[in-house]
């Protein structure tokens, strides 16, 4: 398997708080990798460093064979590396189709692009992805009128519009009704298998991540504590201790 993402020795501190210390992780093309760890262990900080949201203090990040350590969010997004958020970032005053139409790289939001005619293939792709996430019947509803779980599905479809090589998902099932979680897991798997999207997933729900990931990393106090097969990581005494110690 070829390496898609290689994070080597990355550190990041905020005014003396060491959020990440010497973190190294690797994600191979085609994998679904999980990132777990107690609250405040540095998971979101690592995502932010990878996507270029803030500069790192040390270490390097390579994506698809290219050094991206000092690139910023739009440049990294154009290379095919995107993220979703714990709190969704949909355009609440636009309907679902419009949210997807403006999510293609070609439509990188200029105000003018909202008023010109959207090419038919873009609309067809938007409709197909809304169908994929089960929101077809809501396509003309304002995104702000969707439930929180539906907004997360919409945000997932928005990310898929750009056909990312790697998608970082920050707690995809948080706030989603337990009965809908299995459907979401199924869609994440299908996006991986059918669309070829490699996934790196932060998830607090152990059942979900054990079900979804083929490999796990566990962060604790900003450092990688364990790495390996999901079951082995879950049973690792250091991981259990880190979780218990956090409560």
Ligand X SMILES: Nc1ncnc2c1ncn2[C@@H]1O[C@H](COP(=O)(O)OP(=O)(O)OP(=O)(O)O)[C@@H](O)[C@H]1O
Binding site for ligand X (CB under 6 A): 14, 17, 19, 37, 39-45
Q: Please say which residue, 99 or 173, places its beta carbon nearer to ligand X.
A: 173
C-beta separation of 51 from 168 below 8 A:
yes
> Where on the phi/psi map is residue 160: left (φ > 0), alpha (ψ -120 to 50), or beta?
alpha
Question: Which C-beta is closer to ligand X: that of 45 or that of 104?
Answer: 45
**Burial of 155 from C-beta contacts in 10 A (0-12 / 13-18 / 19+):** buried
Q: In the bound complex, what is the minimum distance in angstroms from residue 146's beta carbon to ligand X?
A: 23
In the bound state with ligand X, the residue whose beta carbon lies nearer, of 43 and 152, is 43
Is the Cβ of residue 19 or residue 185 nearer to ligand X in the bound state?
Answer: 19
C-alpha distances in angstroms, 169 versus 31, 33, 74, 97, 173?
A: 13, 10, 17, 22, 10
∠ Cα 62 158 169 (to 5°)? 50
- For the bound state, the minimum distance from the C-beta of residue 43 to ligand X, rounded and expressed in Å, comes to 4
Spatial strand order of the sheet with 58-63 comes to 17-28, 3-14, 58-63, 66-67
Residue 174 C-beta: closest distance to ligand X, Å: 9
Q: Give CA–CA dist 211/199, Å, rounded.
A: 14
Nearer to ligand X, 142 or 174 (CB): 174
Contact indicator for 3, 165 with CB cutoff of 8 Å: no
Q: How far is the CB of 219 from ligand X (least distance, A)?
A: 6
């Amino acid at each position: 398997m070829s390496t898609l993402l290689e994070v080597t020795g990355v550190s990041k501190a905020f005014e003396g708080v060491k959020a990440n210390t010497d973190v190294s992780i690797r994600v191979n093309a085609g994998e679904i990798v999980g990132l777990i760890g107690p609250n405040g262990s540095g998971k979101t900080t690592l995502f932010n460093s990878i996507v270029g949201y803030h500069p790192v203090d040390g270490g390097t990040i390579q994506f698809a064979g290219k050094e991206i350590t000092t690139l910023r969010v739009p440049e990294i997004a154009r290379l095919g590396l995107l993220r979703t958020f714990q709190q969704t970032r949909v355009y609440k005053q636009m309907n679902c189709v419009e949210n997807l139409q403006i999510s293609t790289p070609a439509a990188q939001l200029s105000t003018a692009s909202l008023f010109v005619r959207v090419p038919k293939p873009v609309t067809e792709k938007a409709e197909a992805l809304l169908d994929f996430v089960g929101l077809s019947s809501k396509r003309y509803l304002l995104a702000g009128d969707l439930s929180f779980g539906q907004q997360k599905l919409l945000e997932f479809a928005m990310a898929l519009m750009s056909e990312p090589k790697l998608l970082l998902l920050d707690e995809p099932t948080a706030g989603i009704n337990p009965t809908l979680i299995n459907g979401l897991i199924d869609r994440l798997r299908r996006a991986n298998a059918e669309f070829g999207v490699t996934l790196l997933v932060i998830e607090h729900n152990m059942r979900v991540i054990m079900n979804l990931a083929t490999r796990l990393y566990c962060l604790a106090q900003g450092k990688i504590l364990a790495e390996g097969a999901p079951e082995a990581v879950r049973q690792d005494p250091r991981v259990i201790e880190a979780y218990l110690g956090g409560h």
